[in-house]
Amino acid sequence: MRILVIGSGGREHALVWKLKQSPLVDKIFAAPGNGGTKREGAINAMTPADDLDGLVSLARREKIDLVVPGPELPLTLGIIDRLRQAGIAAFGPDAYCAQLEGSKAFAKSIMAKAGVPTAKYAVFNDVEAAKNHIVKFGAPVVVKADGLAAGKGVIAAKDSREALQAVEDIMAARAFGAAGDKVILEEFLQGEEVSLLCFCDGEHAVPLPSAQDHKAAYDNDQGPNTGGMGAYSPAPMLRATDAGKMVDMTVRPVLKELAASGHPFTGVIYAGLMLTSDGPRVLEYNTRFGDPECQPLLMRLGGDLAQIMLDCINGGLDPVNIQWSKQTALGIVLAAKGYPHACAKGQVIKGIEDAENIPGVKVFHSGTAVKDNVLVSSGGRVLCVTALGDDLAKAQSTAYTALEKIQMKNSFYRRDIGNKGIRRLAAALE
């Protein structure tokens, strides 16, 4: 089989790495890919992830059998619909279903119809009405741009002044462009966050093991929200039995609702949950693998990813074909100084081979490129150093040992990835 992976992050490197292990797969293309996809032997095409015409003609030209989009943008733009029209198999939801991620107002309305627990909210398409709501109900309040904003369109405002400023930035100054045409004001929830991902074949949902992301830029969850600074799986705060119940509460009703509207969901659905004292609440849906959660998750996947994806597309997804290692996997993101804001590119990266010589370690590339045969940084998140271990503490210490082998000027990483889980495991033993 010939496969095309769309995207250029650590998630896409991990997808290429895992798909390459499938006996069904002969050749992999990445569009546009990165230094890591190239090192796996994929052919990097220049086509950007949002160039639908270019992607469809690339898939036709290279006689691609299966297309796997990594990021949300091609999905919300309708790449799956376009590929289906062209008779090419593609793993992911159509544009209608991708609105679950592409429009928070759409997601909220589906949750309301499906009876899924979520924060109380109100949707506004008028600046003054949104501001009046804040003045009336006060803070804390969470202000969200309706559309895609690369993980930056959510502001948890501690006071009314901050909330009013967020509305001004999103709606009036259009900090995220058309994504801010509507704003959602949402009840501020407290609790621990957990990511719940499922493979879906339109009818069935098969949960992946639990994973925990680290969204804040700095240690102890300080600093601005990022795409994610590290992740591990399994996450001790979510027991497998609870995960099953949560899928029943937060994923299956939504799949039923989408199927009833003529759009069965295929691909990966990702529910971002807050475990509050009143029970789980859905913060958001993504309609794809998370990055960096994908990297530790795929390190643990025992089955054939290409076959699982075909089963999602063709129906008849069978949990028997999806096995997971009992080990823990933990990934730490190495980012360029300044991320998630503007940061310098073109820094030389060394030491990856030394890191990967440590048993159980895999270094996934995010923003990397090969320039004159030298590996350099080309984005905010640069690498995700991922390790398997018999438990969380072992995976953590191996991943940090590996990370220390890597040199890149003007970079930083969080030093506490996994600590929360380790504390939780220790408390459970007391």
Q: What is the DSSP string of 320-341?
A: GG--B-SSEEEEEEEEETTTTS
> Which residues from 192-221 bind ligand AMP, rule CB under 6 A?
193, 215
Residue window 132-161: x/- pattern of binding to ligand GLY, with contact defined by CB under 6 A? -------------------x----------
First to last CA, the chain: 51
Interface stretch with ligand AMP, choices 32-40, 181-189, 294-302, 307-315 (CB under 6 A):
181-189
Distance in Å, CB of 286 to ligand AMP, minimum: 8
Does residue number 156 form part of the binding site for ligand AMP (CB under 6 A)?
yes
Does residue number 356 form part of the binding site for ligand AMP (CB under 6 A)?
no
Confirm if 176 and 170 have CB atoms less than 8 A apart: yes
DSSP state of 277: T
Q: Pick the closest to residue 376 from 414, 341, 342, 411 (CA basis).
A: 411
Distance in Å, CB of 210 to ligand AMP, minimum: 15
Q: Each residue of 172-192: b (16+ CB within 10 Å) or e?
A: eeebbeebbbbbbbbeebebe
Does residue number 154 form part of the binding site for ligand AMP (CB under 6 A)?
yes
Does residue number 184 form part of the binding site for ligand AMP (CB under 6 A)?
no
Does residue number 101 form part of the binding site for ligand GLY (CB under 6 A)?
no
| From the list ligand AMP, ligand GLY, none, partner contacted by residue 284 (C-beta under 5 to 8 A by kind) | ligand AMP
- Is residue 62 classed exposed, middle or buried when 0-12, 13-18 and 19+ CB atoms within 10 A define those classes? middle
The residue type of 223 is G
Residue 28 half-sphere exposure toward CB, CA atoms < 13 A? 30
Residue window 253-292: x/- pattern of binding to ligand GLY, with contact defined by CB under 6 A? ---------------------------------x---xx-
Q: Each residue of 199-231: b (16+ CB within 10 Å) or e?
A: bbbbebbbbbbbbbbbbebeeeeeeebbbbbbb
Residues touching ligand AMP: how many (CB under 6 A)?
A: 15
Distance in Å, CB of 286 to ligand GLY, minimum: 5
Our CB check for ligand GLY shows the closer of 164 and 329 to be 329
| From the list ligand AMP, ligand GLY, none, partner contacted by residue 189 (C-beta under 5 to 8 A by kind) | ligand AMP
Does residue number 188 form part of the binding site for ligand AMP (CB under 6 A)?
yes
Per CB under 6 A, the list member of 119, 194, 255, 408 interacting with ligand AMP is 119
| Partners of 266 in the β-ladder | 201
Residues touching ligand GLY: how many (CB under 6 A)?
A: 8
Our CB check for ligand AMP shows the closer of 81 and 187 to be 187
- Cis link prior to 207 (omega < 30° from 0)? no
Q: How far apart are CA 77 and CA 96, in angstroms?
A: 10
Does residue number 213 form part of the binding site for ligand GLY (CB under 6 A)?
yes
Q: How far apart are CA 81 and CA 155, in angstroms?
A: 32
Distance in Å, CB of 104 to ligand AMP, minimum: 7
Residue located via tokens 């210490």: 397
Residues that bind ligand GLY (CB under 6 A): 151, 213, 227-228, 286, 290-291, 293
Q: Applying CB under 6 A, which residues contact ligand AMP?
A: 119, 142, 144, 154, 156, 186-189, 193, 215, 225, 272, 283-284
